[in-house]
Structure 1
Protein backbone atom coordinates (compact mmCIF):
# COMPACT_ATOMS: atom_id res chain seq x y z
CA UNK A 1 0.00 0.00 0.00
CA UNK A 2 1.54 3.35 -1.00
CA UNK A 3 1.86 6.40 1.21
CA UNK A 4 -1.17 8.29 -0.14
CA UNK A 5 -3.50 5.28 -0.02
CA UNK A 6 -2.39 4.43 3.52
CA UNK A 7 -2.80 8.07 4.63
CA UNK A 8 -6.34 8.40 3.23
CA UNK A 9 -7.45 5.06 4.67
CA UNK A 10 -6.20 5.97 8.15
CA UNK A 11 -7.78 9.42 7.96
CA UNK A 12 -11.15 8.05 6.81
CA UNK A 13 -11.25 5.43 9.54
CA UNK A 14 -10.52 8.14 12.12
CA UNK A 15 -12.93 10.82 10.89
CA UNK A 16 -15.44 9.13 8.55
CA UNK A 17 -15.06 12.08 6.18
CA UNK A 18 -14.86 11.20 2.46
CA UNK A 19 -11.44 12.02 1.12
CA UNK A 20 -9.62 11.70 -2.20
CA UNK A 21 -6.25 12.48 -3.70
CA UNK A 22 -5.95 14.02 -7.16
CA UNK A 23 -2.89 14.83 -9.24
CA UNK A 24 -1.85 18.37 -10.13
CA UNK A 25 -3.55 17.74 -13.51
CA UNK A 26 -6.73 16.85 -11.50
CA UNK A 27 -6.65 13.12 -12.32
CA UNK A 28 -7.95 10.91 -9.53
CA UNK A 29 -5.28 8.98 -7.60
CA UNK A 30 -7.30 7.34 -4.80
CA UNK A 31 -10.53 7.93 -2.90
CA UNK A 32 -12.48 6.47 0.01
CA UNK A 33 -15.95 7.15 1.42
CA UNK A 34 -17.61 8.41 -1.74
CA UNK A 35 -20.94 7.69 -3.43
CA UNK A 36 -22.35 9.01 -6.70
CA UNK A 37 -24.20 11.89 -5.03
CA UNK A 38 -21.00 13.14 -3.39
CA UNK A 39 -19.06 13.07 -6.65
CA UNK A 40 -21.29 15.67 -8.35
CA UNK A 41 -20.43 18.23 -5.64
CA UNK A 42 -16.90 18.75 -6.97
CA UNK A 43 -16.92 20.76 -10.23
CA UNK A 44 -13.43 20.24 -11.62
CA UNK A 45 -13.43 23.73 -13.13
CA UNK A 46 -13.94 25.24 -9.67
CA UNK A 47 -10.99 23.26 -8.33
CA UNK A 48 -8.90 24.08 -11.41
CA UNK A 49 -9.53 27.81 -11.01
CA UNK A 50 -8.68 27.66 -7.33
CA UNK A 51 -5.49 25.70 -7.95
CA UNK A 52 -4.15 27.91 -10.73
CA UNK A 53 -4.94 31.18 -8.95
CA UNK A 54 -3.21 30.14 -5.72
CA UNK A 55 0.52 30.80 -5.41
CA UNK A 56 1.10 29.75 -1.80
CA UNK A 57 0.19 26.66 0.19
CA UNK A 58 -3.44 25.76 -0.57
CA UNK A 59 -5.86 24.94 2.25
CA UNK A 60 -9.34 26.30 1.47
CA UNK A 61 -12.89 25.51 2.49
CA UNK A 62 -15.24 25.62 -0.50
CA UNK A 63 -18.94 26.28 0.05
CA UNK A 64 -21.21 24.15 -2.14
CA UNK A 65 -24.51 25.26 -0.61
CA UNK A 66 -25.67 26.96 2.57
CA UNK A 67 -24.71 23.98 4.72
CA UNK A 68 -22.33 21.86 2.63
CA UNK A 69 -18.57 22.34 2.34
CA UNK A 70 -15.50 20.57 1.05
CA UNK A 71 -11.83 21.45 1.30
CA UNK A 72 -8.93 21.36 -1.18
CA UNK A 73 -5.34 21.32 0.07
CA UNK A 74 -1.89 20.47 -1.24
CA UNK A 75 -0.71 16.90 -0.61
CA UNK A 76 2.80 18.17 0.07
CA UNK A 77 3.90 21.30 1.87
CA UNK A 78 7.24 21.02 0.15
CA UNK A 79 6.07 20.45 -3.42
CA UNK A 80 2.71 21.93 -4.43
CA UNK A 81 2.85 20.16 -7.81
CA UNK A 82 2.56 16.77 -6.12
CA UNK A 83 -1.24 16.99 -6.13
CA UNK A 84 -4.14 17.72 -3.81
CA UNK A 85 -6.25 16.24 -1.06
CA UNK A 86 -10.00 16.83 -1.36
CA UNK A 87 -11.84 16.47 1.96
CA UNK A 88 -15.60 16.16 2.22
CA UNK A 89 -18.33 16.88 1.52
CA UNK A 90 -19.47 17.56 5.08
CA UNK A 91 -22.66 19.15 6.31
CA UNK A 92 -22.52 21.83 9.00
CA UNK A 93 -26.21 21.19 9.70
CA UNK A 94 -27.43 18.08 11.50
CA UNK A 95 -28.99 15.44 9.29
CA UNK A 96 -32.20 15.98 7.38
CA UNK A 97 -33.72 14.27 4.36
CA UNK A 98 -31.29 16.05 2.03
CA UNK A 99 -28.05 14.98 3.69
CA UNK A 100 -28.79 11.73 5.51
CA UNK A 101 -25.63 10.07 4.28
CA UNK A 102 -23.32 13.05 4.76
CA UNK A 103 -21.05 13.49 7.76
CA UNK A 104 -22.20 16.27 10.09
CA UNK A 105 -19.35 18.43 11.34
CA UNK A 106 -19.09 22.02 12.59
CA UNK A 107 -16.91 24.07 10.26
CA UNK A 108 -14.26 24.78 12.90
CA UNK A 109 -13.88 21.02 13.46
CA UNK A 110 -13.45 20.53 9.71
CA UNK A 111 -10.36 22.74 9.88
CA UNK A 112 -8.92 20.60 12.68
CA UNK A 113 -9.54 17.50 10.56
CA UNK A 114 -7.43 18.92 7.74
CA UNK A 115 -4.59 19.38 10.25
CA UNK A 116 -5.04 15.73 11.26
CA UNK A 117 -4.77 14.62 7.63
CA UNK A 118 -1.53 16.54 7.17
CA UNK A 119 -0.30 15.14 10.50
CA UNK A 120 -0.96 11.56 9.37
CA UNK A 121 0.76 12.19 6.03
CA UNK A 122 3.77 13.82 7.73
CA UNK A 123 4.07 10.98 10.25
CA UNK A 124 4.00 8.37 7.50
CA UNK A 125 6.51 10.32 5.44
CA UNK A 126 8.90 10.55 8.41
CA UNK A 127 8.57 6.82 9.15
CA UNK A 128 9.16 6.02 5.50
CA UNK A 129 12.24 8.20 5.57
CA UNK A 130 13.51 6.40 8.68
CA UNK A 131 12.94 2.96 7.14
CA UNK A 132 14.42 3.63 3.71
CA UNK A 133 17.67 2.01 2.74
CA UNK A 134 19.40 5.29 2.13
CA UNK A 135 22.97 5.82 1.10
CA UNK A 136 24.83 5.82 4.48
CA UNK A 137 25.86 9.44 3.94
CA UNK A 138 22.21 10.48 3.53
CA UNK A 139 21.31 8.61 6.72
CA UNK A 140 24.09 10.43 8.54
CA UNK A 141 22.87 13.77 7.18
CA UNK A 142 19.31 13.08 8.38
CA UNK A 143 20.57 11.94 11.78
CA UNK A 144 22.68 15.09 11.96
CA UNK A 145 19.60 17.26 11.37
CA UNK A 146 17.63 15.36 14.03
CA UNK A 147 20.37 16.04 16.58
CA UNK A 148 21.48 19.54 15.58
CA UNK A 149 18.45 21.21 13.95
CA UNK A 150 18.56 23.95 16.61
CA UNK A 151 22.08 24.93 15.56
CA UNK A 152 23.35 26.77 12.50
CA UNK A 153 23.57 24.11 9.75
CA UNK A 154 25.06 24.95 6.38
CA UNK A 155 25.39 22.51 3.50
CA UNK A 156 29.06 23.43 3.19
CA UNK A 157 29.80 22.63 6.84
CA UNK A 158 27.73 19.44 6.70
CA UNK A 159 29.57 18.21 3.61
CA UNK A 160 32.87 18.91 5.35
CA UNK A 161 31.61 16.91 8.34
CA UNK A 162 30.65 14.03 6.03
CA UNK A 163 33.76 14.46 3.89
CA UNK A 164 31.62 14.70 0.75
CA UNK A 165 31.62 16.81 -2.38
CA UNK A 166 28.83 19.41 -2.06
CA UNK A 167 27.39 18.89 -5.57
CA UNK A 168 27.36 15.12 -5.10
CA UNK A 169 25.65 15.43 -1.72
CA UNK A 170 22.93 17.80 -2.99
CA UNK A 171 22.19 15.61 -5.99
CA UNK A 172 22.18 12.37 -3.97
CA UNK A 173 19.99 13.84 -1.22
CA UNK A 174 17.39 15.09 -3.72
CA UNK A 175 17.34 11.73 -5.52
CA UNK A 176 17.00 9.75 -2.28
CA UNK A 177 14.38 11.88 -0.51
CA UNK A 178 12.61 13.76 -3.29
CA UNK A 179 13.46 17.07 -1.61
CA UNK A 180 16.40 19.43 -1.44
CA UNK A 181 18.35 19.42 1.78
CA UNK A 182 17.26 22.99 2.59
CA UNK A 183 13.60 22.06 2.20
CA UNK A 184 14.07 18.99 4.38
CA UNK A 185 15.85 21.01 7.08
CA UNK A 186 13.29 23.83 7.06
CA UNK A 187 10.38 21.40 7.15
CA UNK A 188 11.89 19.53 10.10
CA UNK A 189 12.44 22.81 11.97
CA UNK A 190 8.89 23.99 11.27
CA UNK A 191 7.46 20.69 12.59
CA UNK A 192 9.55 21.06 15.76
CA UNK A 193 8.39 24.65 16.19
CA UNK A 194 4.71 23.63 16.10
CA UNK A 195 5.12 21.83 19.43
CA UNK A 196 6.63 24.95 21.01
CA UNK A 197 3.87 27.15 19.59
CA UNK A 198 1.14 24.97 21.11
CA UNK A 199 2.76 23.80 24.34
CA UNK A 200 4.68 26.87 25.51
CA UNK A 201 4.17 30.61 25.85
CA UNK A 202 7.49 31.47 24.22
CA UNK A 203 7.32 34.43 21.85
CA UNK A 204 7.77 33.88 18.12
CA UNK A 205 11.38 35.11 18.06
CA UNK A 206 12.41 32.76 20.87
CA UNK A 207 10.73 29.84 19.10
CA UNK A 208 12.46 30.71 15.83
CA UNK A 209 15.83 30.75 17.59
CA UNK A 210 15.06 27.53 19.48
CA UNK A 211 14.59 25.55 16.27
CA UNK A 212 17.55 26.97 14.39
CA UNK A 213 16.22 30.02 12.54
CA UNK A 214 18.26 33.15 13.25
CA UNK A 215 15.68 35.52 11.79
CA UNK A 216 12.04 35.81 12.89
CA UNK A 217 10.82 37.15 9.55
CA UNK A 218 12.47 34.32 7.64
CA UNK A 219 11.02 31.78 10.08
CA UNK A 220 7.53 33.23 9.62
CA UNK A 221 7.89 33.17 5.83
CA UNK A 222 9.02 29.54 5.81
CA UNK A 223 6.33 28.54 8.32
CA UNK A 224 3.60 30.08 6.17
CA UNK A 225 5.01 28.42 3.05
CA UNK A 226 4.67 24.99 4.67
CA UNK A 227 1.43 25.47 6.62
CA UNK A 228 -0.54 28.27 4.94
CA UNK A 229 -0.49 30.24 8.23
CA UNK A 230 1.93 32.46 10.08
CA UNK A 231 3.23 31.05 13.39
CA UNK A 232 0.95 33.47 15.26
CA UNK A 233 -2.11 32.39 13.24
CA UNK A 234 -1.24 28.71 13.75
CA UNK A 235 -0.98 29.24 17.53
CA UNK A 236 -4.31 31.07 17.72
CA UNK A 237 -6.14 28.50 15.56
CA UNK A 238 -4.78 25.37 17.26
CA UNK A 239 -3.97 26.21 20.87
CA UNK A 240 -6.73 25.17 23.27
Structure 2
Protein backbone atom coordinates (compact mmCIF):
# COMPACT_ATOMS: atom_id res chain seq x y z
CA UNK A 1 0.00 0.00 0.00
CA UNK A 2 1.24 3.50 -0.84
CA UNK A 3 1.17 6.57 1.39
CA UNK A 4 -1.53 8.02 -0.86
CA UNK A 5 -3.77 4.97 -0.43
CA UNK A 6 -3.16 5.07 3.32
CA UNK A 7 -4.31 8.72 3.35
CA UNK A 8 -7.39 7.95 1.25
CA UNK A 9 -8.44 5.31 3.76
CA UNK A 10 -7.94 7.68 6.69
CA UNK A 11 -10.02 10.42 5.07
CA UNK A 12 -12.83 8.05 4.15
CA UNK A 13 -13.07 6.50 7.63
CA UNK A 14 -12.87 9.90 9.30
CA UNK A 15 -15.74 11.28 7.22
CA UNK A 16 -17.88 8.20 7.82
CA UNK A 17 -17.36 8.60 11.59
CA UNK A 18 -17.88 12.36 11.80
CA UNK A 19 -19.67 13.61 8.66
CA UNK A 20 -17.10 16.41 8.70
CA UNK A 21 -15.66 17.07 5.21
CA UNK A 22 -11.93 16.51 4.90
CA UNK A 23 -9.33 17.14 2.19
CA UNK A 24 -5.67 16.18 2.15
CA UNK A 25 -2.98 17.93 0.09
CA UNK A 26 0.72 17.72 -0.48
CA UNK A 27 2.79 20.91 -0.24
CA UNK A 28 2.63 21.48 -4.00
CA UNK A 29 -1.12 21.86 -3.86
CA UNK A 30 -1.91 18.42 -5.28
CA UNK A 31 -5.13 17.02 -3.84
CA UNK A 32 -4.45 13.53 -2.47
CA UNK A 33 -8.02 12.82 -1.40
CA UNK A 34 -11.31 14.52 -0.60
CA UNK A 35 -14.29 13.16 1.33
CA UNK A 36 -17.66 14.80 1.97
CA UNK A 37 -17.31 17.69 -0.47
CA UNK A 38 -20.02 18.98 -2.79
CA UNK A 39 -19.73 21.63 -5.51
CA UNK A 40 -20.71 24.52 -3.21
CA UNK A 41 -18.06 23.51 -0.68
CA UNK A 42 -15.40 23.28 -3.38
CA UNK A 43 -16.29 26.75 -4.65
CA UNK A 44 -16.21 28.14 -1.10
CA UNK A 45 -12.83 26.48 -0.50
CA UNK A 46 -11.33 28.00 -3.65
CA UNK A 47 -12.93 31.43 -3.20
CA UNK A 48 -11.36 31.84 0.24
CA UNK A 49 -8.02 30.39 -0.90
CA UNK A 50 -8.00 27.96 2.02
CA UNK A 51 -5.15 25.80 0.74
CA UNK A 52 -2.72 28.70 0.47
CA UNK A 53 -3.75 30.14 3.84
CA UNK A 54 -3.13 26.78 5.49
CA UNK A 55 0.20 26.23 3.76
CA UNK A 56 1.51 29.65 4.75
CA UNK A 57 0.47 29.08 8.37
CA UNK A 58 1.89 25.56 8.62
CA UNK A 59 5.35 26.36 7.26
CA UNK A 60 5.96 28.68 10.21
CA UNK A 61 4.70 26.25 12.85
CA UNK A 62 6.02 23.17 14.64
CA UNK A 63 5.36 19.64 13.44
CA UNK A 64 2.62 18.99 15.99
CA UNK A 65 0.65 22.15 15.34
CA UNK A 66 -3.06 22.51 14.67
CA UNK A 67 -4.29 25.68 12.99
CA UNK A 68 -7.76 27.08 12.39
CA UNK A 69 -8.66 29.36 9.49
CA UNK A 70 -11.82 31.40 10.15
CA UNK A 71 -14.05 32.33 7.22
CA UNK A 72 -17.11 34.55 7.39
CA UNK A 73 -18.65 34.92 10.84
CA UNK A 74 -18.94 31.36 12.07
CA UNK A 75 -17.44 29.12 9.38
CA UNK A 76 -13.95 27.69 9.83
CA UNK A 77 -11.43 25.16 8.60
CA UNK A 78 -8.90 23.34 10.79
CA UNK A 79 -5.65 21.83 9.50
CA UNK A 80 -2.98 19.48 10.82
CA UNK A 81 -0.14 17.38 9.45
CA UNK A 82 -0.92 13.93 8.09
CA UNK A 83 2.04 12.66 10.11
CA UNK A 84 3.51 14.72 12.95
CA UNK A 85 6.82 12.87 12.51
CA UNK A 86 7.07 13.43 8.76
CA UNK A 87 5.58 16.65 7.42
CA UNK A 88 6.44 15.55 3.87
CA UNK A 89 3.28 13.45 3.80
CA UNK A 90 1.22 16.64 3.52
CA UNK A 91 -1.65 17.96 5.61
CA UNK A 92 -5.35 17.41 6.31
CA UNK A 93 -7.85 20.24 6.11
CA UNK A 94 -11.05 19.61 8.05
CA UNK A 95 -14.15 21.57 7.15
CA UNK A 96 -15.91 23.71 6.36
CA UNK A 97 -17.81 23.54 9.61
CA UNK A 98 -19.85 26.05 11.54
CA UNK A 99 -19.68 26.81 15.24
CA UNK A 100 -23.26 28.13 15.23
CA UNK A 101 -25.95 25.48 15.27
CA UNK A 102 -28.48 27.73 13.49
CA UNK A 103 -26.32 28.19 10.38
CA UNK A 104 -27.39 26.03 7.43
CA UNK A 105 -25.27 27.21 4.52
CA UNK A 106 -24.96 24.56 1.73
CA UNK A 107 -25.42 21.73 4.25
CA UNK A 108 -22.41 22.78 6.29
CA UNK A 109 -21.97 20.63 9.39
CA UNK A 110 -22.22 22.03 12.92
CA UNK A 111 -19.19 21.39 15.14
CA UNK A 112 -18.74 23.47 18.31
CA UNK A 113 -15.20 24.68 18.95
CA UNK A 114 -14.62 22.32 21.88
CA UNK A 115 -15.15 19.31 19.58
CA UNK A 116 -12.24 20.08 17.26
CA UNK A 117 -9.38 18.77 19.47
CA UNK A 118 -11.32 15.51 19.91
CA UNK A 119 -11.78 15.22 16.15
CA UNK A 120 -8.05 15.73 15.57
CA UNK A 121 -7.38 12.99 18.12
CA UNK A 122 -9.80 10.71 16.28
CA UNK A 123 -7.97 11.39 13.03
CA UNK A 124 -4.71 10.35 14.67
CA UNK A 125 -6.32 7.24 16.15
CA UNK A 126 -7.62 6.13 12.75
CA UNK A 127 -4.17 6.63 11.23
CA UNK A 128 -2.35 4.84 14.05
CA UNK A 129 -4.71 1.88 13.81
CA UNK A 130 -3.90 1.22 10.16
CA UNK A 131 -1.85 -1.82 9.24
CA UNK A 132 0.15 0.38 6.86
CA UNK A 133 1.39 2.70 9.58
CA UNK A 134 2.10 -0.09 12.05
CA UNK A 135 4.18 -1.89 9.44
CA UNK A 136 5.96 1.33 8.45
CA UNK A 137 6.87 2.17 12.06
CA UNK A 138 8.18 -1.34 12.64
CA UNK A 139 10.20 -1.24 9.42
CA UNK A 140 11.57 2.19 10.31
CA UNK A 141 12.60 1.10 13.81
CA UNK A 142 14.21 -2.07 12.47
CA UNK A 143 16.41 -0.20 10.00
CA UNK A 144 20.10 -0.60 10.95
CA UNK A 145 20.75 3.04 10.11
CA UNK A 146 21.43 6.28 11.93
CA UNK A 147 18.62 8.78 12.55
CA UNK A 148 19.76 11.00 9.66
CA UNK A 149 19.69 8.17 7.15
CA UNK A 150 16.34 6.90 8.43
CA UNK A 151 14.82 10.36 8.06
CA UNK A 152 16.35 10.70 4.61
CA UNK A 153 14.77 7.43 3.50
CA UNK A 154 11.43 8.48 4.99
CA UNK A 155 11.67 11.76 3.07
CA UNK A 156 12.38 9.89 -0.17
CA UNK A 157 9.46 7.51 0.33
CA UNK A 158 7.08 10.40 0.94
CA UNK A 159 8.24 12.63 -1.93
CA UNK A 160 9.76 10.25 -4.49
CA UNK A 161 7.34 11.56 -7.16
CA UNK A 162 8.79 15.07 -6.88
CA UNK A 163 12.09 16.53 -8.07
CA UNK A 164 14.37 15.86 -5.08
CA UNK A 165 18.03 16.67 -4.60
CA UNK A 166 20.50 15.73 -1.90
CA UNK A 167 20.63 19.43 -1.00
CA UNK A 168 16.88 19.43 -0.35
CA UNK A 169 17.16 16.63 2.18
CA UNK A 170 20.29 18.06 3.81
CA UNK A 171 18.50 21.40 4.24
CA UNK A 172 15.47 19.59 5.67
CA UNK A 173 17.71 17.82 8.19
CA UNK A 174 19.81 20.94 8.76
CA UNK A 175 23.13 19.18 8.06
CA UNK A 176 25.85 19.45 5.41
CA UNK A 177 25.00 17.72 2.13
CA UNK A 178 28.57 16.39 1.95
CA UNK A 179 28.21 14.79 5.38
CA UNK A 180 24.83 13.34 4.43
CA UNK A 181 26.20 12.02 1.14
CA UNK A 182 29.06 10.26 2.93
CA UNK A 183 26.79 8.90 5.67
CA UNK A 184 24.16 7.67 3.21
CA UNK A 185 26.69 5.86 1.07
CA UNK A 186 28.45 4.33 4.08
CA UNK A 187 25.27 2.97 5.68
CA UNK A 188 23.18 1.91 2.67
CA UNK A 189 25.96 1.01 0.25
CA UNK A 190 24.26 3.17 -2.39
CA UNK A 191 24.44 6.80 -3.31
CA UNK A 192 21.45 9.11 -3.09
CA UNK A 193 20.46 8.87 -6.77
CA UNK A 194 20.64 5.08 -6.84
CA UNK A 195 18.45 4.76 -3.77
CA UNK A 196 15.88 7.25 -5.11
CA UNK A 197 15.70 5.47 -8.48
CA UNK A 198 15.15 2.12 -6.77
CA UNK A 199 12.26 3.58 -4.76
CA UNK A 200 10.70 5.00 -7.92
CA UNK A 201 11.02 1.67 -9.71
CA UNK A 202 9.38 -0.20 -6.81
CA UNK A 203 6.54 2.36 -6.63
CA UNK A 204 6.04 2.02 -10.40
CA UNK A 205 5.75 -1.75 -10.02
CA UNK A 206 3.07 -1.29 -7.34
CA UNK A 207 1.10 1.04 -9.60
CA UNK A 208 1.33 -1.35 -12.52
CA UNK A 209 0.02 -4.19 -10.36
- Match for residue 124 of structure 2 among 108, 118, 135: 118
Query: CA distance change for structure 1 residues 94 and 53 in 2, over 3 Å: closer, same or farther?
Result: same
- Match for residue 34 of structure 1 among 30, 34, 37: 37
Residues in 2 aligned to 1:106 and 1:69: alpha-carbon distance in whole angstroms: 11
Structure 2 residue 172 is matched with structure 1 residue 169: no
Ranges in structure 1 where 5+ consecutive residues have no aligned partner: 143-167, 180-240
* Deviations 1:27-70, CA, capped at 9 Å, x for gaps: 11100101122122351331232123224433111111221111
Ranges in structure 2 where 5+ consecutive residues have no aligned partner: 156-209
Q: What SS does the aligned partner of 1:13 have? A: helix
Q: What SS does the aligned partner of 1:170 have? A: coil
8 A Cα contact 2:58 2:67, kept in partner: no
Residues in 2 aligned to 1:78 and 1:87: alpha-carbon distance in whole angstroms: 20
Q: Superposed, which structure 2 residues align to 1:194-233 within 5 Å?
A: none
Report how far residue 82 of structure 1 moved: 1.7
* Deviations 1:165-197, CA, capped at 9 Å, x for gaps: xxx7117x939x838xxxxxxxxxxxxxxxxxx
Report the equivalent of 2:60. 53
8 A Cα contact 1:57 1:80, kept in partner: no
Q: What SS does the aligned partner of 2:29 have? A: coil
Q: Superposed, which structure 2 residues align to 1:56-135 within 5 Å?
A: 56-96=63-103, 98-124=104-130, 127-128=131-132, 130=134
Report how far residue 116 of structure 1 moved: 0.6
Q: What SS does the aligned partner of 1:169 have? A: coil
- Match for residue 20 of structure 1 among 20, 23, 26: 23
8 A Cα contact 2:25 2:31, kept in partner: yes
TM-score (norm 1): 0.53
Query: CA distance change for structure 1 residues 130 and 111 in 2, over 3 Å: closer, same or farther?
Result: closer
Q: What is the aligned residue count?
A: 145
Report how far residue 100 of structure 1 moved: 4.9
Q: What SS does the aligned partner of 1:21 have? A: strand
TM-score (norm 2): 0.60
